[in-house]
């Protein structure tokens, strides 16, 4: 698999990383172009920092190759890579002053003294810290330390600068300024920046390319506008900006059914009568008179946000978020119009509408009309069902047949919450147990990238015995 794209300065091929039998990066491929500002965006625990550490050389992937300008550098230690890092907590050397911190890399390269002096001064000018040479780094503010860290990385003249959530510890105003400055520094120095963040706004403002990651996978790579306007799935749509994500059905090319209404759209190729996820951005919904709308609803909440009003509209039990410069009174009946171009159709993240799996009956009780089945080593009792022992069952369990065990004692424990998406009426949660993924419907909000116990409600399930030999 030694292939690399033209112009790619860093290429990751089939990278796989595991810690304590937990998959951190699941065979990812990524090309980073020269002189680009690339942002790796994702929630905490998605593997973005691990990706950065692999490029920096601090971590060796369990599988896969890292290429730098076409050369495989898996075995190259960090100090031999032409890459410098701006660390999350800056990691400035406390025993050195500002000048010596910045000069650290140059001194190691045996750069002549007057050249070091010249370069450090130039760098200090770029990061706006002229005259700070002799200051102790411990006495600088967060923003100043940040800039020293950036200067320290840039002064070595690396081909690639890695930035690991460098603005995370700064307050909002300083962060905005620094975003601007970083972008300017990147353009001035014509260096490739690989920037890791969980802040979607930061990613959209600064980057040429955004890489959206979730749970060890790359979900989408594209320009900020692409990612915002044409998210590939509900996760990306939900993570970037605000969005109404709802279930729908693709009737045919360019025809989609939402909440019982058939609307025109521009997407093709999903097949006929396919369940899909639909994204409509709150600012893309036009508020009109009820009789002129494609959909109608009642305003239940309106909040002034400065530039616009944020309204919540209930339409067939489904919550819609609308941004509009005109406020509608709470309780008003309104019409909503969406132009076809603004309806973004996406494939469902979960391949099937229900949970479909097979399990074996481990014991059965005719008197009480109940059976016990084995799911991933957990024995679960099911009432009001009877099948003979050792029967293989094909089970279809709808999303509302799963719930989080509030008492902490679930049928399956330590199930990983991969994504939680608000679908207007309820949350659609995708879970991952040891062997399979599950789809769950819930009214509660859950925290992504955490673990929870789940229980099954098999009264909603459909059981079909299958041939023993088959499974």
Site residues, another protein (CB under 8 A): 56-58, 77-80, 83-85, 87, 89, 91-95, 104-105, 108-109, 152-153, 156
* Beta carbon nearer to another protein, 57 or 241: 57
Q: Answer whether 266's CB lies under 8 Å from 281's CB.
A: no
Least spacing, CB of residue 149 vs another protein, in Å = 9
17, 50 contact by CB (below 8 A): yes
- Cα 232 to chain center, whole Å? 12
53-58 LR contacts (CB < 8 Å, sep 24+): 54/12, 54/15, 54/17, 54/25, 55/10, 55/12, 55/83, 55/160, 55/162, 55/194, 56/81, 56/83, 56/85, 56/162, 57/81, 57/83
Stated length of the chain:
471
Shortest approach of another protein to residue 343 CB, angstroms? 46
Closer to another protein by Cβ: residue 108 or 362: 108
**Residue 156 Cβ vs another protein, minimum distance, rounded to whole Å:** 6
CA pair distance 186, 38, nearest whole angstrom = 11
- Shortest reach from residue 356's CB to another protein, in Å: 45
The two three-digit tokens of residue 229, written as one number: 């306007």
Please state, in angstroms and rounded to a whole number, the distance separating the CA atoms of residues 137 and 217.
Answer: 38
DSSP secondary structure string for all residues of 419-456: EEEE-SSSEEEEEE-SS-EEEEEESS---TT-EEEEEE
Taking phi first (over 0 means left), then psi (-120 to 50 degrees means alpha), and beta for anything else, what does residue 173 get? Answer: alpha
Between 122 and 223, CB nearer to another protein: 122
Q: Which is nearer to another protein, 156 or 279 (CB)?
A: 156
The residue among 95 and 130 lying less far from another protein, judged by its C-beta, is: 95
In whole angstroms, how close is the CB of 134 to another protein at the nearest point?
Answer: 11
CA 395 to CA 381: how far, in whole Å? 14
Compute the least distance from the CB of residue 92 to another protein, in Å: 8
CB 54, min distance to another protein, A? 13
Q: Are 376 and 412 in contact (CB under 8 A)?
A: yes
- In angstroms, what is the minimal distance from the CB of 79 to another protein? 5
CA distance 195 to 336: 39
HEC states along 212-233? EEECCEEEEEECHHHHHHCCCC
Closer to another protein by Cβ: residue 93 or 341: 93
- If the CB atoms of residues 146 and 392 are measured against another protein, the closer one turns out to be 146
Minimum distance from residue 112 beta carbon to another protein (Å) = 16
Would you say 85 or 355 has its CB closer to another protein?
Answer: 85
For residue 322, the minimal CB distance to another protein (Å) is 45
Shorter beta-carbon distance to another protein: residue 185 or 295: 185
CA distance 387 to 132: 79
Neighbours of 70 (CB within 10 A): 12
The three-class DSSP label of residue 416 is strand
Name the token pair of 177: 């300024």
Nearest CB to another protein, comparing residues 84 and 392? 84
- The span from the CA of 383 to the CA of 371, in Å, is 7
Minimum CB separation from another protein for residue 56, in Å?
6
- E strand or H helix at 48: helix 48-56
Q: Which of 417, 451, 429, 449 is nearest to 44 (CA)?
A: 449
Between residues 104 and 357, which has the closer beta carbon with respect to another protein?
104
């Amino acid at each position: 698999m030694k292939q690399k794209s033209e112009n790619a300065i860093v290429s990751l091929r089939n990278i796989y990383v595991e810690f304590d039998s937990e998959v951190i990066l699941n065979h990812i491929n990524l090309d980073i172009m020269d002189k680009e500002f690339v942002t790796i965006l994702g929630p905490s625990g998605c593997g973005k920092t691990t990706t950065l550490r692999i490029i920096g050389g601090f971590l060796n992937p369990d599988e896969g190759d890292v290429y730098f300008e076409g050369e495989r550098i898996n075995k190259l230690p960090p100090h031999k890579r032409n890459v410098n890092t701006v660390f999350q907590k800056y990691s400035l050397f406390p025993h050195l002053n500002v000048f010596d911190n910045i000069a650290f890399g140059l001194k190691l390269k045996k750069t002549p003294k007057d050249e070091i002096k010249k370069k450090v001064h130039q760098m200090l000018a770029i990061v706006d810290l002229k005259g700070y040479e002799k200051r102790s780094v411990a006495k600088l503010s967060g923003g100043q330390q940040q800039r020293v860290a950036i200067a320290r990385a840039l002064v070595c003249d690396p081909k690639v600068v890695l930035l690991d959530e460098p603005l995370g510890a700064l307050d909002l105003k300083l962060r905005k300024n620094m975003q601007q400055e970083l972008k300017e520094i990147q353009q001035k120095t014509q260096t490739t920046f690989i920037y890791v963040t969980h802040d979607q706004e930061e990613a959209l403002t600064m980057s040429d390319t955004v890489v959206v990651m979730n749970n060890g996978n790359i979900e989408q790579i594209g320009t900020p506008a692409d990612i915002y306007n044409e998210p590939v799935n509900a996760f990306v749509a939900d993570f970037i900006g605000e969005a109404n994500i709802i279930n729908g059905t693709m009737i045919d090319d360019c025809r989609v059914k939402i909440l019982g209404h058939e609307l025109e759209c521009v997407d093709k190729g999903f097949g006929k009568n396919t369940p899909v996820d639909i994204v409509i951005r709150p600012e893309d919904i036009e508020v009109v008179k009820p009789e002129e709308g494609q959909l109608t609803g009642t305003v239940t909440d309106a909040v002034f946000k400065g530039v616009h009003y944020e309204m919540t509209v209930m339409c067939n039990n489904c919550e819609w978020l609308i941004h509009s410069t005109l406020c509608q009174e709470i309780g008003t009946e309104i019409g909503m119009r969406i132009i076809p171009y603004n309806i973004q159709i996406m494939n469902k993240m979960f391949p099937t509408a229900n949970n479909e799996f097979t399990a074996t009956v481990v014991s059965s009780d005719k008197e009480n009309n109940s059976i016990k089945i084995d799911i991933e080593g957990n024995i679960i009792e099911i009432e009001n069902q009877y099948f003979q022992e050792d029967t293989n069952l094909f089970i279809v369990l709808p999303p509302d047949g799963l719930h989080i065990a509030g008492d902490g004692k679930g049928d399956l424990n330590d199930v990983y919450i991969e994504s939680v998406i608000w679908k207007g009426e309820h949350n659609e949660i995708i879970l991952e147990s040891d062997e399979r993924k599950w789809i769950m419907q819930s009214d509660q909000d859950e925290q992504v990238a955490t673990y929870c116990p789940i229980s099954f409600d098999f009264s909603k399930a459909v059981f079909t015995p299958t041939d023993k030999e088959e499974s």
